[in-house]
């Protein structure tokens, strides 16, 4: 029969690496939104706290400032 979705989400299943990728990217998107919602006086500290190290470049900070 058809398994409930919880049972088909096996860590070693065919979609495990895709699922990990999607979760990582969504986490980055959620953190970007949190940075955008921060008060202007807390923007730099929130950016440094929530953004992953590989996205803490001056260009990425400028991009966030442009979006804000």
Q: What is the mean pLDDT of each run of 10 residues along the chain (68 residues)?
A: 56 85 94 96 96 92 95
pTM of the predicted structure, to 2 decimals = 0.69
Distances in Å between the Cα of 22 and the Cα atoms of 19, 29, 58 are 5, 10, 25
- Residue 30 CA to residue 36 CA, distance in Å, equals 10
Residues in the chain: 68
Tell me which residue has tokens 């049972």: 7
Specify the pLDDT at position 13: 79
């Amino acid at each position: 029969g058809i398994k409930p979705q919880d049972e088909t989400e096996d860590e070693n299943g065919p979609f495990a690496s895709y699922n990990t990728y999607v979760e990582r990217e969504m986490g980055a998107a959620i953190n970007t939104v949190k940075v955008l919602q921060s008060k202007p006086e807390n923007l730099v500290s929130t950016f440094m706290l929530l953004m992953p190290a590989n996205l803490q470049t001056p260009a990425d900070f400028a991009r966030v400032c442009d979006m804000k």
